[in-house]
Amino acid sequence: MLKYLILFVAFSLFQTTHLSSAVTVLGNTDAVTCFNHARMGYSSKSSIITCRNVFSEKAVSKDVLAGTRVNLGIIYNNGLKPTLALKEFKIAILNKSVESEALLNQGNSLFLLNDLSGALEKYDESLKLNIRDSSAVFFNKGLVFEKMNNMKEAVRFYKKAISLNPNLVLFFNKKKQLIKDGVWDKINEREES
């Protein structure tokens, strides 16, 4: 039983390894709750409903609506529903205030769909628009190259990400422990089957 619990926890960690960029929304509304749910990795139906409620609120700015679309897309990605996420990002990207975050998260959706070259294109586009958290882009590019078995490039991008955000070392420490315990390979085998 403990073995299955460890595998479940490890599998959960693997499923949420890409970094997203939630769009900060201030205040005390459903938009703020949606932001917090996206930031914390939620994927529940109630999170989706909370986000969708924002679209029917009357006094919501276009920027908040666009940010909520990005956050809803992140929640869809968290729930492994990248096709639904892409629909939200496609609408959000029309608003310049969230364009770079929408591109990063489109890349995450494409990664989930195993469109690795498409993911890299979106990550590069988000960098060209000077995304606020470029460490997330470099980290995600590392994940793409790792999945392509190009470890030299993966390490290069991981190092760049860590130089911008030293807290990312925690992920690698967890991954190292999972590899040492033999759990990481079991997760990869499950993903490929």
CB 112 within 8 A of CB 80: yes
Distance, CA of 132 to chain centre: 15
- How many Å apart are CA 22 and CA 70, to the nearest integer? 7
The domains of the chain, with CATH numbers, are 16-188 (1.25.40.10)
CB 95 within 8 A of CB 17: no
Q: What residue has token string 């999170």?
A: 47
pLDDT digits (tens, 9 = 90+) for 83-119: 999 999 999 999 999 999 999 999 999 999 999 999 9
pLDDT digits (tens, 9 = 90+) for 11-57: 333 344 566 667 676 655 899 999 999 999 899 999 999 999 999 98
